[in-house]
Structure 1
Amino acid sequence: MAGVALFLSIQNAQAESVHGIAMYGDPALPPDFVSLPYANPDAPKGGRVVFGNTGGFDSLNPFVQKGTDPWQLRFWSYESLMGRSWDEPFSLYGLLAESVETPEDRSWVEFTLREEARFSDGSPVTVDDVIWSYETLGTKGHLRYRGLWSQIDRIEQTGPRSVRITFSEEDRELAMIAGLRPILNKAQWEGKDFANAPLQEIPIGTGPYVVTDYEPSRFVTLKRNPDYWGKDVPFRRGTMNFDELRIEFYGDETVLFEAFKAGELTAVREFNAEKWETQYDFPAVRRGDVVKTEIPHGKPSGMTGFVMNTRQPPFDDWRVREALLFAFNFEYINDTITGSAQSRITSFFSGSDLAMQPGPADSKVRSLLEPYAEHLLPGALDGYELPQGDGSARNRKNLRVAADLLAEAGWSVTDGVLRNADGDPFEFSILIRQGDTDMQTVIEIYARALERLGIKVTTEKVDNAQYAGRVAELDFAMTPFRRELSLSPGNEQRLYWGSEGAATPGTRNLMGMASPAADAMIDAILAAESREDFVAATRALDRVLTTGRYVIPIWSFDVGRIAHAKQLKYPERLPIYGDGPQYMPDVWWYED
Structure 2
Amino acid sequence: MKPVFAGQFSLISASFGLAAAGSIALAEPQHGIAMYGDPALPADFSSLPYANPDAPTGGRVVTGEVGSFDSLNPHIQKGRVPWQLRFLAYESLMGRSYDEPFSLYGLLAESIDTAEDRSWVEFTLRPEARFSDGSPVTVEDVLWSYETLGTEGHGRYRGLWDKVETAEITGESSIRFTFKQPEPELALIIGMRPILQKAQWDGQEFTESGLDVIPVASAPYIITDFDAGRSVTLTRNPDYWGKDLPFRRGTNNVDEVRLEFFTDAAVMFEAFKAGEINTFRETNSEKWRTQFDFPAVQNGDMVLSEIPHERPTGITGYVMNTRLPQFADWRVREAMITLLNYPFISETLVGADAPRVTSYFSNSLLGMKEGPAEGDVRALLEPHAEHLLPGALDGYTLAEGSSSERNRGDLRRAITLFEDAGWTIQDGVMTNASGEVFTFEILLSQGSSEVQSTIDIYAEALARVGITPTITVVDGAQYKERTDRFDFGMTYYRRSASLSPGNEQLAIWGSDAADIPGSRNWMGADNPAIDALLQSMLNAQTQDGFVAATRALDRVIASGRYVVPVWHNPQSYLAHSVELHYPEDLPIYGDYLGFHPDVWWWEE
Q: TM-score range by the shorter chain?
A: over 0.9
Structure 1 position 233, deviation (Å): 1.0
**Judging changes above 3 Å, is the alpha-carbon distance between structure 1 residues 302 and 253 closer, same or farther for their aligned structure 2 residues?**
same
Deviations 1:221-251 (A, max 9, x none): 1111111111011111111111111111111
Partner of 2:210: 198
**Match of 2:274?**
262
1-structure distance, mates of 2:587, 2:146: 30
Q: Distance in 2 between matches of 1:355 and 1:256?
A: 35
For residue 208 of structure 1, the aligned residue among 217, 220, 223 is 220
Instruction: Tell me which amino acid in the other structure corresponds to 2:488.
Output: F
Aligned residues with identical type, % of pairs: 61
Corresponding residue for 2:34?
A: 22
One-letter code of the match for 1:501?
A: A
Name which of 355, 371, 384 aligns with 2:367: 355
Give the secondary-structure state (helix, strand or coil) at the position aligned to 1:500. Answer: helix
User: Which AA in structure 1 matches 2:201?
Assistant: W
Tell me which residue corresponds to 2:50: 38
Give yes or no for the alignment of 1:67 onto 2:65.
no
Number of the residue aligned with 1:244: 256
Match of 2:238 among 200, 205, 226: 226
1:564 maps to what in 2? Answer: 576
1:420-441 deviation line (CA, Å, top 9, x unaligned): 1221111112111111111111
1:373-421 Cα distance to aligned partner (Å, 9 max, x none): 0000001111110111122110111011110111111111222111112
What is the match of residue 4 of structure 2? none
For 1:456, what is the secondary structure of its paired residue?
Answer: coil
- Report the AA paired with residue 315 of structure 1: F
Measure how far apart 1:204 and its partner are: 1.8
CA offsets 1:79-120 (integer angstroms, 9 cap, x no match): 100000000000000000000000110000000001011111
CA distance in 1 between counterparts of 2:65 and 2:21 reads 55
- The answer to whether 1:517 aligns with 2:529 is yes
Alignment of 1:201-350 (within 5 A): 201-340=213-352, 342-350=354-362
CA contact (8 A) 2:52 2:251 kept: yes
Q: CA deviation at 1:182?
A: 0.3
- Secondary structure of 1:122's counterpart equals coil
Distance 2:179 2:168 in 1: 12
Matched, 1:499 2:511: yes
The residue type equivalent to 1:235 in the other structure is F
**Alignment partner of 1:132 is 2:153:** no
Once the two structures are TM-superposed, the CA of residue 489 in structure 1 deviates from its matched residue by: 0.9
**Retained in 2: the 8 A contact 1:47–1:243?**
yes
- Give the corresponding residue for 1:107: 119
Deviations 1:115-141 (A, max 9, x none): 011111111100000000000000010
Per the TM alignment, residue 202 of structure 1 is displaced from its structure 2 partner at its CA by 2.4
Whether the 8 Å contact between 1:72 and 1:581 is mirrored in structure 2 is no
Structure 2 residue matching 1:238: 3-state secondary structure: coil
d(CA) in 1 for partners of 2:264, 2:202: 39
Which consecutive aligned stretches of 4+ in structure 1 deviate over 4 angstroms post-superposition? 5-10
RMSD of Structure 2 on Structure 1 (CA): 1.3
- Quote the residue 1:490 is aligned against: 502
- 2:303–2:576 CA contact under 8 A, matched in 1: yes
Q: 1:436-451 to 2 correspondence within 5 Å?
A: 436-451=448-463
Instruction: Report the Cα offset of residue 7 of structure 1.
Output: 12
Question: CA 1:239 to 1:420, structure 2 compared with 1: closer, same or farther past 3 Å?
Answer: same
Partners of 1:14 and 1:409 in 2: CA distance: 59
Distance change >3 Å, CA 7–CA 18, structure 1 → 2 = closer
Find the aligned partners of 1:519 and 1:241 in 2 and give their Cα distance.
Answer: 43
SS in 2 for 1:563: strand
Q: CA deviation at 1:14?
A: 5.3
- Number of residue pairs matched by the alignment: 586
Q: C-alpha displacement at 1:495, in angstroms?
A: 1.1
Name the amino acid aligned to 2:111. Answer: S
1:495, 1:509 within 8 Å by CA — same for their partners in 2?
Answer: yes
Question: Is the Cα–Cα contact under 8 Å of residues 506 and 513 in structure 2 kept in the other structure?
Answer: no
Q: In 2, are the aligned partners of 1:40 and 1:571 still within 8 Å (CA)?
A: yes
SS in 1 for 2:218: coil
1:156 partnered with 2:168: yes
Q: Is the 8 A contact 1:433 1:463 kept in 2?
A: yes
Within the alignment, does 1:171 sit opposite 2:183 as a pair? yes
- In structure 2, how many angstroms separate the alpha carbons of the residues matched to 1:385 and 1:7? 54
CA contact (8 A) 2:21 2:170 kept: no
Query: Matched residue of 1:552: which SS?
Result: strand
Question: Aligned AA for 2:218?
Answer: T
Kindly indicate whether the alpha-carbon contact (under 8 Å) linking 2:358 and 2:565 is maintained by their aligned counterparts in 1: yes
Q: Per-residue deviation at 1:342?
A: 2.2
Amino acid at match of 1:187: A
Q: Which runs of 5+ in 1 are unaligned?
A: none
Q: Of the candidates 552, 565, 586, which is equivalent to residue 553 of structure 1?
A: 565
Q: Would you say the 8 A contact 2:533–2:549 is kept in 1?
A: yes
Decide whether the 8 Å contact of 1:78 with 1:205 is kept in 2.
yes
Using the TM superposition, name which of 517-526 and 19-28 deviates more. 517-526
> What SS does the corresponding residue of 1:158 show, helix, strand or coil?
strand
**TM-score for the superposition, normalised by structure 1:** 0.97
3-state DSSP of counterpart to 2:382:
helix
Cα separation, 1, equivalents of 2:414 and 2:64: 41
Deviation at 1:212, TM superposition (A): 1.0
What residue number does 2:387 align with? 375
Q: Do the aligned residues in 2 keep the contact of 1:521 with 1:537 (CA within 8 Å)?
A: yes
What SS is found at the alignment partner of 2:246? coil
SS state at 1:188 partner: helix
Measure the CA separation in 2 of the matches of 1:514 and 1:14.
40
Instruction: Tell me if the contact between 1:16 and 1:103 (Cα under 8 Å) persists in the aligned partners.
Output: no
Provide the C-alpha distance between the structure 1 equivalents of 2:342 and 2:592, rounded to a whole number of angstroms. Answer: 26
If the length of structure 2 is used for normalisation, what is the TM-score? 0.96
Say if 1:304 and 1:553, in contact at 8 Å, map to a contact too.
yes
**How far 1:75 moved relative to its partner?**
1.2
Tell me the alpha carbon deviations over residues 23-60 of structure 1, each in whole angstroms, 9 at most, x when there is no partner.
Answer: 00000000011110000111111012211111110111
Question: How far apart are residue 6 of structure 1 and its match?
Answer: 13
**3-state DSSP of counterpart to 1:425:** coil
Assess if the C-alpha contact under 8 Å between 1:14 and 1:104 holds in 2: no
The Cα shift of 1:158 comes to 0.7
Q: 1:425 aligns with which of 418, 433, 437?
A: 437
Q: Which amino acid aligns with 2:216?
A: I
SS in 2 for 1:314: helix
Structure 2 distance, partners of 1:183, 1:48, is: 26
Deviation at 1:15, TM superposition (A): 1.0
Cα distance between partner residues in 2 of 1:416 and 1:109? 63
In 2, are the aligned partners of 1:274 and 1:341 still within 8 Å (CA)?
A: no
Quote how far apart the aligned CAs of 1:581 are.
Answer: 3.3
**Corresponding position: 1:454 with 2:463:** no
Distance in 2 between the 1:259 and 1:408 partners? 51
2:262 corresponds to which letter in structure 1?
Y
Match of 2:227, as an amino acid? E
Kindly provide the amino acid, as one letter, of the partner of residue 544 in structure 1: V
Indicate if the aligned counterparts of 1:303 and 1:348 stay in contact, CA closer than 8 A. Answer: yes
After superposition, the C-alpha distances for 1:62-85 in whole angstroms (9 at most, x for unaligned) are 000000011111111111000000
Q: Distance in 2 between matches of 1:543 and 1:501?
A: 20
* One-letter amino acid of the counterpart of residue 469, structure 2: V
Partner of 2:128: 116
Q: CA deviation at 1:205?
A: 2.0
Letter in 2 for 1:287: N
How far 1:580 moved relative to its partner? 1.5
Unaligned runs of 5+ in 2: 1-18
What letter corresponds to residue 45 of structure 1 in structure 2?
A: T
Specify the code of the residue in structure 1 equivalent to 2:73: N
Cα distance between partner residues in 1 of 2:343 and 2:279 = 31
